[in-house]
Structure 1
Amino acid sequence: MTSIDDLSKVTLDEGVLRITISTAANGTSLDDEGLVQGAQALETVGNDIGSILLVGEGANFCAGGNVRAFAAAPDRGEYVAEVARVFHVFVRALDAATAPVVAGVHGWAAGAGMSLVCLADVAIGGTGTKLRPAYPSIGFTPDGGMSWTLPRIVGVARAREILLNDSVIGGDEAVRLGILTRLVGDDEVQEEAARLARALANGPSTSYSGIKALLRSSRTNSLAEQLDAEAASIALAANSPIGREGVDAFVDKRRPDFTSAKQA
């Protein structure tokens, strides 16, 4: 089994799994090595993860796929299919994760980068952050789940407009649409995203995982089925160490110690 210590694009510190999804190399395009290592880490560390932090190391969060590599491939369809396969292994692992996913979105999030923003539970942007589907600009169609996530965030009609028009979405508009959670100064994005990831890692982990499980089941459940799922989930939470600590702390008028409760 691969150890986190053996992975160059992934770190695990104080419960925060930090995954580098792009670097300055190749114009901050999607980093295949980061995706492969990220998927391996998500499968390996499991319950040791308190939160997941997606970052880009360079001028942008992620400028999309490496178009120059697409152009140089002997068989472009075959090459892009493999890129999508690797990307989608990571997307599936990220979607299945029980821990909260935070994205620090500075600069551009285009193509695959925007797809990853749409997958995050919380996405922190800067005043200069810009998002763009970018697929139509090179005659491609979306990957990374954007055709599934974007309509659920902004609505089908608006998603259709954004995708077909290849719209450039500024930070303020992205917050209004719900793609980004909030904005901070451009030089504060990475620090604030890391701060939030640490705070979540120290929070009520079983509550977070239960919330994410309910949101996942709501994709296909009827209201009646979802009510049953909620009733079962909240009852389970009430008897969990974290649920007991939360209620006891409320009654005692003190701050809950979820970190100790996790270890109980």
Structure 2
Amino acid sequence: MYQHLIYQIQNGVCTITLNRPEVYNALNTLLIQEITQAFEAAASNESVRVVVLTGAGEKAFCSGADLKSGMTNATSLGDSLRKNYNPMILAIRNLPKPVICRLNGTAVGAGCSLALACDMIIAAENAKMSQIFVSIGLIMDAGSSFFLPKFVGSQKAFELCSTGRVVEAQECLALGLVNSVVASENLDLAVSNMANQYAQSATSAIGLIKKVLNQSSFSTLEEMLELEAINQDLAGKTQDFEEGVTAFLQKRKPTFKGF
């Protein structure tokens, strides 16, 4: 079904693996379109409760745009972003389910943006991130101008984008770019534990949490209070809410179905 990625579902966990290790999982047009399609498939599949996004190989999560695919200053990069990159990022952010980035190695350029678009990032100790765009005379894209200031503030975002310097895993953790850093040999276990926790959680509520938080950066307090009321009403009509209250009253662990 897919040429450049691996799509697997097991026990409610959908794993999407960028599978171009020979070029450090660089993004060409087909891979970008397949990532978008994979997230759309995960959105429509009720058995999927959480998505894990990662890269094949040990060295790189994603090395950004594949510069060998014919990018020149005669190419309309804006049209390429609108047609390919932007739908990919929106498919991740609009997915009403949690997305965990298994950051197994280097994430640079649009690959860094791709990681930042996820809801959580669990990084291996050898992972690195870089807004490398400026090194070829470009600005950040694929959402980094939105994500970075939220995570690190405007001044640090300017520094990282205007220098393109490499940020090691521990500094990523200190800056708030990743949620945790683990030894490389423990990465699979850490990601699996988190994914399994989400696969057994109240998926609808998490989707609504994600939806509300996505609005918080450009809404007033009054608007957010109303958005909370609207979405709390939706959450209160789910079977998971009923199960959660029943389990609480019965002093047992809830068994959520995700709807």
Say yes or no: TM over 0.5. Answer: yes
CA distance in 1 between partners of 2:185 and 2:29 (Å): 26
Aligned to 2:37: 40
Greater shift, 31-40 or 111-120, is seen at 31-40
Structure 1: stretches of 5+ with no match in the other structure: 1-5
The structure-2 alpha-carbon separation of the partners of 1:41 and 1:24, relative to structure 1 and needing over 3 Å to count, comes to: closer
Give the aligned partner of residue 108 of structure 2: 110
Question: Which of residues 77, 83, 88 is equivalent to 2:86?
Answer: 88
Residue number in structure 1 paired with 2:49: 50
Which secondary structure does the structure 1 equivalent of 2:27 belong to? coil
1:14-66 CA distance string (max 9 Å, x none)? 33232223521223322543322221233344252311211100221111122
Aligned residue in 2 for 1:119: 117
Whole-angstrom CA distance in 1 between matches of 2:190 and 2:80 = 31
- Residues 23 and 31, structure 1, Cα contact 8 Å, conserved in 2: no
Aligned pairs, number: 253
Q: Partner of 2:95 in structure 1? A: 97
The answer to whether the Cα contact below 8 Å between 1:55 and 1:190 also exists between their aligned partners in 2 is no
When structure 1 is superposed on structure 2, of 27-36 and 215-224 the one drifting more is 27-36
- Could you tell me how far apart the structure 2 residues matched to 1:178 and 1:196 are? 18
Question: Secondary structure of the residue that 1:135 maps to in structure 2?
Answer: helix
**Which AA in structure 1 matches 2:225?**
L
Deviates more, 1:230-239 or 1:247-256: 230-239
Going from structure 1 to structure 2, the CA distance change for 1:212 and 1:168 (only over 3 Å counts) comes to same
Shifted more, 163-172 versus 25-34: the winner is: 25-34
Q: Normalising by structure 1, what TM-score?
A: 0.87
Gaps of 5+ in 2: none
Among 240, 243, 256, the residue aligned to 2:241: 243
Higher helix content, 1 or 2: 1
CA–CA separation in structure 2 for the residues paired with 1:162 and 1:90: 23
Query: Displacement, 1:192?
Result: 2.5
Structure 2 vs 1, CA of residues 189 and 77 (structure 1 numbering), >3 Å: closer, same or farther? farther
1:155 matched residue in structure 2: 153
RMSD value over aligned CA atoms? 2.1
* Equivalent residue for 2:25, pick from 28, 31, 52: 28
- Residue in structure 2 matching 1:175, options 173, 176, 194: 173
Whole-Å separation in 2 of the counterparts to 1:78 and 1:232 = 44
Which residue in 2 is equivalent to 1:3?
Answer: none
The answer to whether 1:199 aligns with 2:194 is: no
Q: Residues 14 and 228 of structure 1: is their aligned pair in 2 closer, same or farther, counting only changes over 3 Å?
A: same
Change (3 A) 1:50 1:231: same
For residues 31 and 100 of structure 1, the distance between their equivalents in structure 2, rounded to whole angstroms, comes to 25
Q: 1:21 to 1:87 in 2, by over 3 A?
A: farther
The DSSP-based 3-state class of the residue aligned with 2:63 is: coil
Preserved contact between residue 28 and residue 69 of structure 2 (Cα < 8 Å):
no
What amino acid is aligned across from residue 249 of structure 1 in structure 2? A
| More displaced 10-residue stretch of structure 1: 226-235 or 139-148 | 226-235
> Structure 1 residues 236, 88: closer, same or farther in 2, change over 3 A?
closer
